[in-house]
Amino acid sequence: MSNGVNAIKFYFEKVRGGERKYYHVDRPIREKALPEVLSEEEVTKILRVTKNIKHKAILMTIYSAGLRIGELVNLKIKDIDSNRMQIRVEQAKGKKDRYTVLSQRTLEILMRYIKQDRPFEYLFEGQGSTKEIPVRYSTTSISSILNKAVKIVGITKNVTVHTLRHSFATHLLERGTDLRYIQSLLGHESPKTTQIYTHITTKGFDQIKSPLDGLDL
């Protein structure tokens, strides 16, 4: 767009000898696609087919707390506060720490997983991790875990790990949680970012009647 405007300015001002002017050109508004969201039933199916306890704990933690994949792999064991039922997300996007909810079911599977795998520092550690040199779990591996489950279940939506975060927010909204609390849990700076979920939710759709159904056909 800017190259086109510059070419026009050059033609009229240099070639045609016109006076210099400021040309205001309205930029086209970039369309923002709504994120893909899973239903609660689809999330249930994904978690049910994920049999590996570590893999299931990873997916449950992401969904139940609305975490970004980078936040999940950076979680440390000390960030799980079972007394206050909170997860501390340290150095999240925007460099601000925040707290999000710790699900009772997630806590239970995390306790089972920790007892079994005995991670050293990070909540989820990768191969070769030691007490001296703890290794974060691979984000690529997390994507593979989810993709495998989605394929087994037969979900045709374009599902990524971030879809679980979107689904968390949408399901909270559908269950009546105030947008301000959802904004805080997700760590959004602006409420406008959180408001996108009001365009995704299907809550109340069953009470809307198409005007076509009222026509005397």
Count other Cβ atoms within 10 Å, centred on residue 134: 15
68 is catalytic: yes
Asked if 182 contacts 167 with a C-beta cutoff of 8 angstroms, the reply is no
Map out the domains of the chain as residue ranges: 1-28, 40-202
**Catalytic residue (choose from 93, 99, 112, 148):** 93
Supply the pLDDT for residue 156: 95
In DSSP notation, 100-151 reads EE--HHHHHHHHHHHHHH--SSBSSB-TT--SSS--BPPHHHHHHHHHHHHH
Supply the pLDDT for residue 90: 86
199 is catalytic: no
Q: For helices 179-186 and 161-174, give the axis angle rounded to 10 degrees.
A: 160
Supply the pLDDT for residue 94: 59
**Catalytic residue (choose from 68, 136, 166, 171):** 68
Supply the pLDDT for residue 34: 80
188 is catalytic: yes
**Catalytic residue (choose from 88, 112, 148, 162):** 162
User: What predicted TM-score, i.e. pTM, was given to this entire model?
Assistant: 0.78
Supply the pLDDT for residue 197: 82
Q: What is the pLDDT along the chain (217 residues), one digit of tens a residue?
A: 455 556 666 656 666 665 665 555 555 545 567 888 999 999 999 999 999 999 999 999 999 999 999 999 999 999 999 999 999 998 755 567 899 999 999 999 999 999 999 999 999 999 998 989 999 999 999 999 999 999 999 999 999 999 999 999 999 988 888 888 888 888 887 888 888 887 777 666 566 666 667 777 7
Supply the pLDDT for residue 176: 86
**Catalytic residue (choose from 54, 165, 166, 171):** 165
Strands of the 98-101 sheet, one edge to the other? 80-81, 86-89, 98-101
Q: Which CATH number fits domain 40-202: 1.10.443.10, 3.30.230.70, 3.30.70.80, 3.40.50.360?
A: 1.10.443.10
